[in-house]
Amino acid sequence: MRGWELARWGGLFLCVAALTVWVIHGGHIFTKDKQMVVHREYDPIFDVMRERIEWQPALRLGLDIAGPVAAVGFGLWAAGGWLRRRKKSHRV
């Protein structure tokens, strides 16, 4: 494989991978660095259910990072295709 062909397929892979990870992480617009965890505890003395909220660190990729990464990957893919088509037209 030549350099541009490798860059072309690498760009397509980068684009698809970034958007797939973004969808798996929830499809949020902004990147989140914490996740809310709710602990429910039953108190038999007062017969009530208590909730305790805890914020734990967890990276959830957002479109603010995944979008530009996918755009760079798509740009590589498009530039590789343009150069390939340009070289084929000059061979004739």
Q: Are 52 and 38 in contact (CB under 8 A)?
A: yes
Task: Name the residue ranges covered by the structural domains of the chain.
Answer: 3-87
Lowest mean pLDDT among 7-11, 27-31, 88-92: 88-92
pLDDT band at 71 (very low <50, low <70, confident <90, very high): very high
pTM of the model: 0.74
Residue 1 pLDDT greater than 70, yes or no: no
Over residues 36-67, the pLDDT tens digits come to 999 999 999 999 999 999 999 999 999 999 99
Q: What DSSP line would sit under 41-68, residue for residue?
A: EEETTTTEEEEEEEEEEEEE--HHHHHH
pLDDT band at residue 85 under the 50/70/90 scheme: confident
